[in-house]
Structures are given as structure tokens and as C-alpha cells.
Amino acid sequence: GDQVEQSPSALSLHEGTDSALRCNFTTTMRSVQWFRQNSRGSLISLFYLASGTKENGRLKSAFDSKERRYSTLHIRDAQLEDSGTYFCAAEAGGSNAKLTFGKGTKLSVKS
Amino acid sequence: EAAVTQSPRSKVAVTGGKVTLSCHQTNNHDYMYWYRQDTGHGLRLIHYSYVADSTEKGDIPDGYKASRPSQENFSLILELASLSQTAVYFCASSDASGNTLYFGEGSRLIVV
């Protein structure tokens, strides 16, 4: 099965609302990254976390520091420009230094 | 100014032909990666490299070769393109294993 499972696969929000995206890992991960892909296909890094939480404007991400098996991305006061596909990617660490991506959450923000 | 640039941005290739996708980074990063994106699969790692003149297999290397002639350049080579290799290909770099990835704009390949 997939090592990185994202949920939900799609999400529709009204402007001004809050929501959370989630990534579950089937094994302990060393770090997690979150990306947004816009309508033109460009991938932008949002957060890199090895533990704890990070916040940037209306976005906040957390990585379960205890068991290291899930991460969340919170979107506060959603805006139209937040629309896109959000990917999480995790690294297991050790000799396996590769990132494994989830299949993404397609977010649509509507007025 | 884009730090990871890919070329070509779009290409149509014939089955059995050779395709080379090029990637150039100005981030001074040691690590470079090639991913492919297909609908419903997210991004999957094809090959990566952590130093010039050395490449490593990713999760789906079959049908692909990679070349890292210098720190700045990383190429993906399809010796015999097949229909199943139609996808969008992304190059990325990072300063250390797994640290923040910086992606290129993607190369859309259609094999006919």
C-alpha cells in the first residue's frame, strides 16, 4: 500500500472558512514537506518540518513529533488564491533518503 | 529568476524514439531529482543524484536513464520512448537529502 495517504482527495470551501488537510504515514517518517501546485502546474514549497509546527500567514502545519506518523495543514480564512492541489511528501530517513509523495488534495475555494 | 529550469517545457515524441529532458539549477545544491506526475499518482521518483557523476535509482527507474555531468545539470534520458511514458516530468533540487525541494516548471511529454 501507499506509504503516504492524503485526505481528503478533494475539498470545496467558501471564502473565509477554515479547513485542515491530513497526511497519514504507514511508517515512521523523519520529516514532511507540504507543497501547493497551482493551475499552471507549478509546485511551490510551503513547509518543511522535522518536528513540531510552523506557521506562515493563514497556513499552519504540524508534524506529530511523538509517533511521527501524520501531519496536518490548516488553512485559515480561505481565499480564492488558495485554490490548487496540495501535496505532502515524507522522508523515512536512514539509508532511504527519498521523499514519497501523497496523491494530493485538490482544493477549490469559491466566493 | 528561476533557480531550476527545465527544457524542453513541452515535447511530442514518437514511440521508440530517444528523448532527453534537461534540468539546470543555480541553487548550488548537491541533490537533484527527477519525478513524473500522472493523474491520480501524485509525484513518483525516477532517479536522483547527490553528487556529480553519480546517479541513483528512485522508485520507478525502469525505462529511464539519468546523467549528472556537473553539480548544476541533471538529465533524464528515455532511450526508447513508450506510450506509457506520457506524463509531466519535474526536476527538483535540494541542499541536502530530503530538505526543502525546489521544483522546475515541469516538462510535458507526449509519446505518440
What pLDDT digit, counting tens, does each position of A48-86 carry? 999 999 999 999 999 998 888 999 999 999 999 999 999
Residue B42, C-beta contacts closer than 8 angstroms, at least 6 positions apart? A87, A101, A102, A103, A104
∠ Cα A6 A7 A8 (to 5°): 140
For all residues of chain B together, what is the average pLDDT? Answer: 93
| Domain carrying residue A47 | 4-110
Could you give the CA distance from residue B54 to residue B67 in angstroms, rounded to a whole number?
Answer: 8
Residue pLDDT, tens place only, A15-59? 999 999 999 999 999 999 999 999 888 999 999 999 999 999 999
Q: Which residues of B45-80 are buried (b: 16+ CB within 10 A; e: fewer)?
A: bbbbbbeeeebbebeebeebebebeebbebbbebee
Residue pLDDT, tens place only, B54-72? 999 999 999 999 999 999 9
Residues of B in contact with A93 (CB under 8 A): 98
**Number of domains chain A is built from:** 1
**Touching check for A45 and chain B: CB below 8 Å?**
yes
What pLDDT is attached to residue A99? 85
How far off is chain B from A34, nearest CA to CA, in Å? 9
What pLDDT is attached to residue A17? 97
Residue B31 DSSP SS3: strand
- What percent of chain B shows pLDDT beyond 70? 96
Could you give the CA distance from residue A23 to residue A34 in angstroms, rounded to a whole number?
Answer: 10
**Touching check for A51 and chain B: CB below 8 Å?**
no
B43/A101 CB distance under 8 A: yes
pLDDT at A2 over 80: no
Q: Closest Cα partner for A98 from B32, B38, B19? A: B32
Contact B92, B103 (CB under 8 A): yes
Band (pLDDT 50/70/90 cuts) for residue A1 is: low
Instruction: For residue B48, list its beta bridge partners.
Output: B33, B56
Contact B73, B24 (CB under 8 A): yes
Could you give the CA distance from residue B21 to residue B9 in angstroms, rounded to a whole number?
Answer: 9
Shortest CA distance from B2: residue in chain A: A42
Average pLDDT over residues B20-34: 95
Average pLDDT over residues B6-21: 97
Residue pLDDT, tens place only, B70-99? 999 999 999 999 999 999 999 999 987 667
pLDDT at A95 over 80: no
What pLDDT is attached to residue B97? 66
How far off is chain B from A109, nearest CA to CA, in Å? 21
What CATH number corresponds to the domain at position A105?
Answer: 2.60.40.10
Nearest to A30 among B42, B58, B98 (CB): B98
Instruction: For residue A15, list its beta bridge partners.
Output: none
Residue A9, C-beta contacts closer than 8 angstroms, at least 6 positions apart? A103, A104, A105, A106
How far off is chain B from A56, nearest CA to CA, in Å? 15
